[in-house]
Structure 1
Amino acid sequence: MSKAEKTALKFRIAGIRTDEFAILEENYNEKDPIKLTSEINFGLLETEHVLGISLSIRFEQDSKPFIKLAVSLRFEMEEKSWALMVNKEKQEIIIPLDFASHMGVIAVGTMRGILYEKLTGSRFAHFILPPIDLTRLIRGDATLPLVSLQNSETRD
């Protein structure tokens, strides 16, 4: 696939879902340092030409989460774009790094909005999802077998 083809993949966002949300107040102490961990996964629904991305974050202190959020987005690919990513010989789909990163940026922005809404009115309302360095989570093309739903995983 040429660079022009990689950047011209056509899609629409077909779904957004909050998979998990929790505030664990007992794990929070205003004085302790906070760590943010994140995880990203890719998946597919071959018969529907859908790529999926799920992203989860945890605000933690002493390895104990006090805010957890996981979201999933579905990207319905145009048939021609889907075909560009399929390797029939190896029975896999290759999501180019640039497009995987684009999906990640959309997922992070979506997650930031969801987190804002979920925390509004709580004592945690001042927590805003900071920028996430997707280059640490998505290091190359994502290759998935052409069997429905799961996944390539990377952790930070």
Structure 2
Amino acid sequence: MPENNSRQVNFALVQITTEQLDLSMDLYSEEKPVTMSAGLDFGIQSSQNLLKVLFKTTFHQENIPFITIEAGCVFAIDPESWNLFCSEEQGFLTLPKNFAGHLATLTSGAARGILHSRTENTPMNRFFIPVSNIDEMIPGNLSLPLNSEA
């Protein structure tokens, strides 16, 4: 498990969601190059110490998407670990970059599995979310407002 100030952070994956899955093979052309874009979003439900990570990726050609998938993972953070990140005086939950990156990597892996499962035995199964260093998408520690529930 990731550490914060040499203390172990305890958490559990409690839910995986498929927020969006659009598959439009009729928009795909063998002759055109394929590009990808990806993004992350984080939200909290502080009353239950829950953190949700959303990972979205789109495969497109000439800016026209033909595959879009957005998956989410909800993590329960134990109260002691939550308090390590929480600053009620400042009104923020601050996630260290390495911990946020770890949760984002788990979420991208879930999205990868969902895409594979939903396209298995179809021509679209050749498109997959590459294994990459997802935490590079996170520029630094993340501060999430405690009063904005996910």
Q: TM-score range by the shorter chain?
A: over 0.9
Q: Work out the CA distance in 2 between the residues paired with 1:72 and 1:132.
A: 18
Where in structure 1 do 4 or more consecutive aligned residues deviate above 4 Å? none
Q: Work out the CA distance in 2 between the residues paired with 1:112 and 1:70.
A: 10
Q: Counterpart in 1 of 2:33? A: 33
Q: Work out the CA distance in 2 between the residues paired with 1:76 and 1:141.
A: 19
Tell me the amino acid that sits aligned with residue 51 of structure 2.
L
Task: Tell me the TM-score normalised to structure 2 length.
Answer: 0.93
1:9 matched to 2:9: yes
Count of residues in Structure 1 that have an aligned counterpart in Structure 2? 148
From the superposition, tell whether residues 27 and 46 of structure 1 become closer, same or farther in structure 2 (CA, over 3 Å): same
What aligned pairs does 1:39-78 form with structure 2 within 5 A after superposition?
Answer: 39-78=39-78
1:130 matched to 2:114: no
Determine if contact 2:98/2:135 at 8 Å carries over to the other structure. no
Q: Work out the CA distance in 2 between the residues paired with 1:60 and 1:2.
A: 38
Q: Which runs of 5+ in 2 are unaligned?
A: none
Deviations 1:44-103 (A, max 9, x none): 001000011001000010001111100111000000000000012101100111100000
Task: Tell me the TM-score normalised to structure 1 length.
Answer: 0.89
From the superposition, tell whether residues 149 and 110 of structure 1 become closer, same or farther in structure 2 (CA, over 3 Å): same
Deviations 1:6-41 (A, max 9, x none): xx1110001100011011123200121111100100
Q: Work out the CA distance in 1 between the residues paired with 2:139 and 2:82.
A: 21
